[in-house]
Amino acid sequence: MNQTTGSRATRILGVGALVALAVMLVFGLVFSPPEVDQRDAVRLMYIHLPSVAVAYTGFAITLVASVIHLRKGSVFWDLVAGAAAEIAVLFTGFVLISGALWGKPTWGVYWQWDPRLTSTTVMFIMYLGYLALRRLDLPPEVRSRRAAILGIISFINVIIVHYSVQWWRGLHQGQTLGVDTKLDGMMLFTLFLSVVAFMTVGAWLLIHRFRVAWLEYQIGLLGFEHALAERRAENETSGLYGSGA
């Protein structure tokens, strides 16, 4: 009997992720050169950008899985939506932390009222709310349906928040803050490598996190069936409801 959420596929994926991360670290911290203006701070890009990639992929998976769940009502897609959202929230946290630490040496401050920064933070909190809704004490089907609705609306809201904040800043002061980074071939390669590494980690995590959710669901079912069986046995011995079938 297998005692973990691992399988052949995840072990291969996991080893791949570890190797990719190790290579990425060597390239990111050693081989890739410092940038002209930002010096070594540019190395934070190799964790910042791939975290963005994983986070947005995760939220997109939540959106798609929510739509499928609403249409078909299958438990599988509900759990996929929840697992993807949790991972995406974690990586959004990475985006914010690495972004703040990158901002200090390049902009001089940890935080700017920049549209992207502001809307990413609001998005982070919005999906914390989504995860909180998934833990509500409701009948499972009701909770799943509401989570799916929220999973869809949240994605729309991210877009709305982003554009309204952009408009707000646009009216107040000239340009959106960008990081004017000059990348050479080595940097681009390292960036590519880091995105591959993080996406592999994300995929591996998604499978494991989904399996944990699936096991939780099965335990819930087992408990329910157990209670039902006990109830039937009780009824049969007391003879109140006949065979109880």
Partner 1 sequence: MLHDAWVMARKDLRIERGSRVVLGQILPFGALVLILFGLAISPDLTVLGTERRTVLAQAAPGLFWMAVLFSSLLALGRSFAIEAADGNLDALKMAGLDPAGIFVGKSVAVTVELMVLEVLLGFGAFVLYGAPLADPVLLATALLLATTAVTSAGTLYAALASGLRVRDTLVPLLVLPVLAPVLLAATLATDAAVFGPTGNGWSWTMLLGVFALLYLGIGMLSFGPIMEES
Partner 2 sequence: MHWEYVFAGYGIVFASLVVYVVSVLYRGRELSRQVPDDRRRFLD
Q: Which residues contact 183 (CB under 8 A, 6 or more apart)?
A: 35, 191
Identify which of residues 149 and 212 has a Cβ nearer to partner 2 in the complex: 212
68 near partner 1 (CB under 8 A): no
CB of 121 to partner 2, least distance (A): 17
CB of 142 to partner 2, least distance (A): 23
- Report how far residue 245's alpha carbon sits from residue 237's, in angstroms, rounded to the nearest whole number: 13
Identify the residue among 113, 168, 192, 241 touching partner 1 (CB under 8 A). 168
- Report how far residue 85's alpha carbon sits from residue 129's, in angstroms, rounded to the nearest whole number: 11
- Report how far residue 78's alpha carbon sits from residue 222's, in angstroms, rounded to the nearest whole number: 19
Identify which of residues 9 and 229 has a Cβ nearer to partner 2 in the complex: 9
74 near partner 1 (CB under 8 A): no
19 near partner 1 (CB under 8 A): no
Identify the residue among 1, 171, 240, 245 touching partner 1 (CB under 8 A). 171
Q: Which of 56, 131, 65, 130 is nearest to 94 (CA)?
A: 56
Considering only residues 124 to 163 of the shown chain, the ones binding partner 1 according to CB under 8 A are 125-126, 128-129, 132-133, 136-139, 141-142, 145-146, 149-150, 153, 156-157, 160-161
CB of 172 to partner 2, least distance (A): 28
The entry of partner 1, partner 2, none that residue 7 binds, CB within 5 to 8 Å by partner kind: partner 2
CB of 145 to partner 1, least distance (A): 6
Residues that bind partner 1 (CB under 8 A): 70, 122-123, 125-126, 128-129, 132-133, 136-139, 141-142, 145-146, 149-150, 153, 156-157, 160-161, 164-165, 167-168, 171
